[in-house]
Amino acid sequence: MTSHITVKACSKSDDFGTSKQHAHDNYLKAQDVEAQPVAAELGLFDMKRAFDYLIYALEWHLDPKDDKDGRREAQAPELFTPGFHIPAVTCWVKHTGRKLYEGLCNGKMKNRHPRDILSTLKHFDHPAEWWPFWKERSIEVSKDWPDEFVRNAAEQAMKHMQDIA
């Protein structure tokens, strides 16, 4: 989730557009690479990593009304960049979506530590309710976001989600 660091590191060129595209490509490659061992359950990170990424991108930053008590600003110091984070959601859903969905449906996410639950903005009676909520958020972005690249990425994420459930 360090898109601003990636842009800064790639901004050696005088051409900001080229630097940003290079940073964007590197960030998405990194997210794609990170999602694969999570999906394979290789032990570096557990499925909570995918869950947290989707919350970060699809809940914390897309609806400012959700941050009534300022938790987002206090807990998420990183800059949210839709051109980086929404396409990365596609990587996470592509690689971890099925296992994440199964974990939500079979209650694995229900027994999260209370301090972890505070990091989420939406609270559902059953964890499986997150999936349709995230899918709806992806649909909203795919229709309404001003940037075509972000809209297309959200549409891809939504299609992966629909293939799963």
d(C-alpha 6, C-alpha 23), whole Å = 5
∠ CA 86-26-94, nearest 5°, is 45
The tokens describing 134, both together, are 């995230």
Position 86 pLDDT exceeds 60: yes
Domain ranges of the chain: 3-164
Question: Confidence class of residue 61 from pLDDT cuts 50, 70 and 90?
Answer: low
Task: Tell me the pLDDT of the chain averaged across its residues.
Answer: 79
pLDDT tens for residues 91-101? Answer: 999 999 999 99
Interval 25-50 mean pLDDT: 90
pLDDT tens for residues 113-147? Answer: 545 544 556 777 777 888 999 999 999 999 989 99
Q: For residue 13, what are the CA distances in angstroms to 4, 18, 76, 126, 149? A: 16, 8, 29, 49, 23
Interval 76-80 mean pLDDT: 60
The tokens describing 59, both together, are 């809940």
Question: Confidence class of residue 26 from pLDDT cuts 50, 70 and 90?
Answer: very high
